[in-house]
Amino acid sequence: MFTQTFGLKSHPFEENISTEKAVHDKRFLHALGRLDYFAGHGQIALLTGSTGVGKTLLLSCFLETLPTHLYQPINPSISSVEPPAMLRMIASALGEKPSLGKDRLFRQIINKTQSSGRITLIIVDDAHLLSEATLIDLRLLISSCQKNNSAPIKLFLSGQSSLSKQLTHSSLADLLNRVNIRCSLPALNQKQSINYMNYRLKHAGGAASLFDEPAKALIHDHTGGIPRGINNLATTCLLHAASQGVKTIGQAQVIESANELRII
């Protein structure tokens, strides 16, 4: 494997990484500041960004800051669900056997969160896949807690940029009005992309010079600064370089790799 060829301790551009390997650049720190406020004072938070930009990693970093004796995060795994499936998944995540009927589900979830003595944080990743009816159910759950002075439930919606447009539909006006923390995670600019690559190489035991500067700039141009795209293209460059006996990756390897991945 190329890690041996280049004397690396680990794969520098692996996709799923621990939070300790996260690059806390300006955009990450800005978003974490917003989410820290949400944990203490907000009720519904909205995080949007393109696929592969780092939303899931940001969420993991945020969750690590929450004291476990004060917060109970639950993350229903979804693809595309219809109501009341979401409510049933929330009840199951809370350790309950879901009740029959929407009203009973509401009461069951509220009663369970009251008994926990902690703030329940409902995290919905890929929320852009949810139907309007499901989003309305989530809003009704939040408002029901307010009316009953129940233990607080916070809602964290994370999804692609289209989620923001979806929430502007008239049927979702009440939900949108309750979103008090909004955060968009942008792609990396060229300087941030280069710093990202340097950081990942260093963390893997490699040197930043393994990719020359024009190559790094070209990787940014081809990927638009999307971290997942950078990981894929940089990994392909390493594979090509290792097979060709190239010690320093330049623009030729980037172009060849980009063609292989059909980026250009």
The pLDDT of residue 80: 55
- CB-count burial class (<10 Å; 0-12, 13-18, 19+) for 107: middle
Contacting residues for 8 by C-beta, under 8 A, at least 6 apart: 2, 204, 205, 206
* 98 against 185, higher pLDDT: 185
Mean pLDDT of the region 210-232:
97
Which fold would CATH assign to domain 188-260? Helicase, Ruva Protein; domain 3 (1.10.8)
The pLDDT of residue 86: 87
Q: Where in the chain is the domain with CATH 1.10.8?
A: 188-260
Mean pLDDT of the region 182-205:
95
Contacting residues for 29 by C-beta, under 8 A, at least 6 apart: none
Mean pLDDT of the region 179-202:
95
The pLDDT of residue 264: 55
The pLDDT of residue 159: 93
Residue 230 CA, chain-centre distance (Å), reads 16
Using alpha carbons only, what angle is made at residue 23 by residues 235 and 181, rounded to the nearest 5 degrees? Answer: 125
CB atoms within 10 A of CB 251: 14
The pLDDT of residue 79: 53
Question: Over the chain, what is the mean pLDDT?
Answer: 90
Contacting residues for 252 by C-beta, under 8 A, at least 6 apart: none
Say if residue 24's pLDDT is above 70.
yes
CB atoms within 10 A of CB 6: 19
Give CATH for domain 26-184. 3.40.50.300
Confidence bin at 2 (pLDDT 50/70/90): confident
Q: Where in the chain is the domain with CATH 3.40.50.300?
A: 26-184
Mean pLDDT of the region 34-62:
93
Angle of helix 227-244 versus helix 251-260 axis, rounded to 10: 110
Amino acid identity, residue 106?
F
For 126, 205, 227, the CA distances from 182, given in Å and listed in that order, are 16, 37, 21
**Structure tokens given for 201:** 């190489």
Backbone angles phi, psi at 88, to 5 degrees: -65, -40
Whole-angstrom distance, CA of residue 264 vs CA of residue 262: 5
The pLDDT of residue 154: 92
Mean pLDDT of the region 165-182:
92
